Amino acid sequence: MSKPLPEENLGLVHLCANRFRGRGIEYDDLYSAGCIGLLKAAEAFDSERGVKFSTYAVPVILGEIKRLFRDGGAVKVSRSLKELSLKTVRTREEMSKKLGREPTISELSRQLDTDECTIAEALAVSMPPVSLTDSTDENGSQIDIAVPSPDIEIGDTLALRQVIELMDPKDRELIFLRYYKGQTQSATAKKLGMTQVQVSRREKKLLSFMREQLTQ
């Protein structure tokens, strides 16, 4: 099965970036970091794992965006990555002339003897940042570029689903019964062969784990 196309999944980047609006970093920077995460996810995704691409990609995109906050709000690019970016661009141009088409990331990876994720990141570095506004007239006024309507709830749901998949089957069932089926702790305890007190304690630990994973 072919790799998912990043340009067809840019909506995921907008969804993830919108979760961090108003936290001190410009949206353009959030979006740029998210695009790097999307490229990494697209190259590393394996459909045979039985997981949807959106479920796999969201944590990768969020990870790149969260790195901005750890790095002080700027998309930092190492000198080695900048050098690789220049080399990758030159190689892509040379291969394009020989092949009569744009080489794939896999082909560039083999040619440069570098893993595909690093090549994808190098190509992302070579792309100029695209502003969400564009000056198109002599007065320099700005117009909004149309983007998918942000839906934070969908992004949160995808991230939450990924966290739940990290749990043991019994823990997943506990969360499912309590928060998807709306059952009481007593009813949940009966189905899981636990006491109400055990369910209460376990539930608190699971909620703490989920909160930590979603906010780190």
**CATH assignment at residue 197:** 1.10.10
Two tokens, residue 135: 């000056």
136, part of any domain: no
Q: What is the pLDDT of residue 161?
A: 78
Same domain flag for 24 and 114: yes
Give residue 198's pLDDT band: very low, low, confident or very high (50, 70, 90): very high
Cα–Cα–Cα angle for 68, 8, 1, nearest 5°? 110
Q: Which residues pair with 135 in a beta bridge?
A: 142
Same domain flag for 174 and 80: no
Instruction: Read off the DSSP letter of residue 167.
Output: S
Are the CB atoms for 90 and 122 separated by under 8 Å?
A: no
Two tokens, residue 35: 């695009």
148, part of any domain: no
The per-residue pLDDT for range 109-161, each reduced to its tens digit, is 888 888 777 787 777 766 554 444 444 444 444 434 444 444 455 666 677 77
Q: How far apart are the first and last CA of the chain?
A: 33
Q: pLDDT: is 196 or 76 the higher one?
A: 196
Give residue 202's pLDDT band: very low, low, confident or very high (50, 70, 90): very high
Are the CB atoms for 178 and 185 separated by under 8 Å?
A: yes
Same domain flag for 173 and 107: no
- Rounded Cα distance between 124 and 115, Å, is 15
Considering just the CA atoms, what is the radius of gyration of the chain in Å? Answer: 22
146, part of any domain: no
Q: Among 26-30, 145-149, 159-163, 188-192, where is mean pLDDT lowest?
A: 145-149
Two tokens, residue 122: 């190098």
pLDDT higher than 50, residue 215: yes
- The domain in which residue 209 lies consists of 166-215
- Last residue of a domain, which of 77, 111, 131? 131
The arithmetic mean of pLDDT across residues 172-188, rounded, is: 87
147, part of any domain: no
Are the CB atoms for 58 and 25 separated by under 8 Å?
A: no
Q: What is the pLDDT of residue 137?
A: 47
Same domain flag for 124 and 170: no
Same domain flag for 185 and 99: no
Instruction: Read off the DSSP letter of residue 165.
Output: T
102, part of any domain: yes
- Last residue of a domain, which of 110, 131, 152? 131
154, part of any domain: no
Domains identified in the chain, total number: 2
Q: What is the pLDDT of residue 70?
A: 73
Same domain flag for 46 and 116: yes
Same domain flag for 184 and 126: no
Q: How many Cβ atoms sit within 10 Å of the Cβ of residue 114? A: 15
Please state whether 150 falls in left (phi above 0), alpha (psi between -120 and 50) or beta: beta
Are the CB atoms for 208 and 216 separated by under 8 Å?
A: no
- Last residue of a domain, which of 131, 157, 175? 131
Q: Over pLDDT 70: what percentage of the chain?
A: 76
Are the CB atoms for 41 and 90 separated by under 8 Å?
A: no
Same domain flag for 17 and 99: yes
Give residue 64's pLDDT band: very low, low, confident or very high (50, 70, 90): confident
Q: What is the pLDDT of residue 133?
A: 43
Two tokens, residue 117: 């994720």
Same domain flag for 90 and 170: no
Same domain flag for 127 and 69: yes
Q: pLDDT: is 161 or 35 the higher one?
A: 35
Same domain flag for 55 and 106: yes
Q: Name, in order, each residue with C-beta under 8 angstroms of 145's C-beta and a sequence gap of 6 or more.
A: 130, 131, 132, 133, 134
Same domain flag for 113 and 198: no
